[in-house]
Amino acid sequence: MKSVFSAFLVSAMLLAPVGGASASSWIQASSTEEQVATDTKPKVVTMNSTDGAKNIKMDKGVITVNETGAFFLVAAAQVGGKGKGLVRMWMKINGKDVDNSNTEQLISDPEFTAVLVCQGVAELKRGDKVTVVFSGSAAGVGLVVKKPAGEPVVPSIIVSGWRID
């Protein structure tokens, strides 16, 4: 009985803050399009789906916040390709690279895929635009899509963000 009560108490303590939490602005966007490098120049990641949002807009990969505040942003890309090389991914705010936001994954086998995550916290102003950028060290590597039979699509990227203050 004591262990059941303890488990109940711990569960209640964990769930209590969640019930009171509420983000005034949030977004989840994704892409079902493959985006691989044709050269080594950086490219803005495009997204073709706003999976859900409140007070944040997304248009073809450009995320625009509608209120000022601190935001947590995370981009998770499925990376791989038809060749070998490095895939790098980072964020930009209003066209400027976000310092210390670059991430990389080595694709050493064309059959290999991995999830590459880039995340951070940023103080944004109403109207600021956030983009995710990627580059490949060789043509053919980048963000890939998988379509397993009988399961949801594995998108090339999922971007989530929410206001934290």
Q: Please write the tens of the pLDDT for every residue from 29-65.
A: 999 999 999 999 999 999 999 999 999 999 999 999 9
What are the φ/ψ torsions at residue 107 (nearest 5 degrees)?
-100, 105
- 94, pLDDT greater than 60: yes
Separation CA 162–CA 55 (nearest Å): 10
Structural domain including 140 reads: 23-163
Residue 27 lies in a domain: yes
- Beta-strand relationship, 157-163 and 103-107: unpaired
Residue 17 lies in a domain: no
Residue 99 lies in a domain: yes
Mean pLDDT of the chain: 90
In a 13 Å sphere around the CA of 85, the CA atoms on its Cβ side amount to 20
Domain count, the chain: 1
Residue 142 lies in a domain: yes
The domain that holds 45 is classified in CATH as: 2.60.120.40
Per the listing, tokens 């290999």 go with 112
Residue 8 lies in a domain: no
Closest CA to 61 of 129, 125, 143: 129
Q: Which two tokens stand for residue 118?
A: 């880039």
Separation CA 67–CA 128 (nearest Å): 9
Separation CA 127–CA 144 (nearest Å): 30
- 7, pLDDT greater than 50: no
pLDDT at 13: 43
pLDDT at 21: 56
Average pLDDT over residues 56-75: 97
- Split at pLDDT 50, 70, 90, the class of 165 is confident
- 17, pLDDT greater than 70: no
Average pLDDT over residues 77-103: 97
**What does pTM read for this prediction?**
0.84
Separation CA 56–CA 122 (nearest Å): 15
Residue 4 lies in a domain: no
Residue 14 lies in a domain: no
For 29-33, which contacts have Cβ atoms below 8 Å and span 24 or more sequence positions?
Answer: 29/53, 29/58, 29/61, 29/63, 29/158, 29/159, 30/155, 30/157, 30/158, 30/159, 31/61, 31/143, 31/145, 31/155, 31/156, 31/157, 32/145, 32/153, 32/155, 32/156, 33/145, 33/156
